[in-house]
């Protein structure tokens, strides 16, 4: 019982961390687009965004497929689980361009080279859309927790 509760709590806290981190990253990107010079805030928020994603994958995988919750059959036949996974995939697809750019930034900064902030405004928008998708994932998760079904 304690493991079930702990996994659920960590999973929910990872949503909160991810939501905060991606919105903070988006705001920091927007400040860079407006001429700010400090990229560290973007990178720190991005690190926390990545940590939350790992926590969500691990705890979610354990809960759905590790025998800690309602069972794999429940999740595979639950429409809200499919919605939640679709939203997660959308986030991953949206994340490709910012992720590649931020890897390049980290390499450039480690070498003392300048970074290209030309797409910071776009990445701010992407981050904020990802925040909305995280919220929608939480809505889907609460429906799943209450056994909401369709049909």
Q: 67: Cβ–Cβ under 8 A, 6 or more apart, which residues?
A: none
Is the CB of residue 42 less than 8 Å from the CB of residue 22? no
pLDDT per position as a tens digit, 90-120: 999 999 999 999 999 999 999 999 999 999 9
Q: What is the token pair recorded at 141? A: 């998760």
pLDDT per position as a tens digit, 1-30: 888 899 999 999 999 999 999 999 999 999
When mean pLDDT is compared across 15-24, 43-52, 127-136, 141-150, the lowest value belongs to: 141-150
122 conformational bin, left if phi > 0, alpha if psi -120 to 50, beta if neither: alpha
């Amino acid at each position: 019982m304690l493991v079930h509760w702990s996994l659920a709590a960590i999973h929910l806290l990872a949503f909160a961390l991810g939501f905060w981190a991606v919105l903070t990253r988006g705001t920091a990107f927007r400040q860079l687009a407006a001429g700010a010079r400090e990229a560290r805030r973007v990178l720190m928020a991005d690190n926390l965004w990545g940590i939350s994603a790992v926590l969500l994958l691990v705890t979610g995988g354990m809960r759905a497929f590790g025998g800690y919750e309602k069972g794999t059959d429940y999740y595979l036949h639950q429409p809200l689980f499919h919605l939640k996974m679709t939203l997660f995939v959308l986030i991953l697809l949206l994340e490709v361009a910012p992720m590649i750019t931020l890897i390049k930034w980290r390499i450039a900064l480690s070498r003392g080279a300048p970074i290209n902030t030309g797409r910071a405004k776009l990445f701010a928008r992407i981050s904020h859309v990802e925040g909305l998708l995280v919220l929608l994932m939480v809505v889907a998760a609460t429906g799943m927790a209450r056994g909401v079904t369709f049909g």
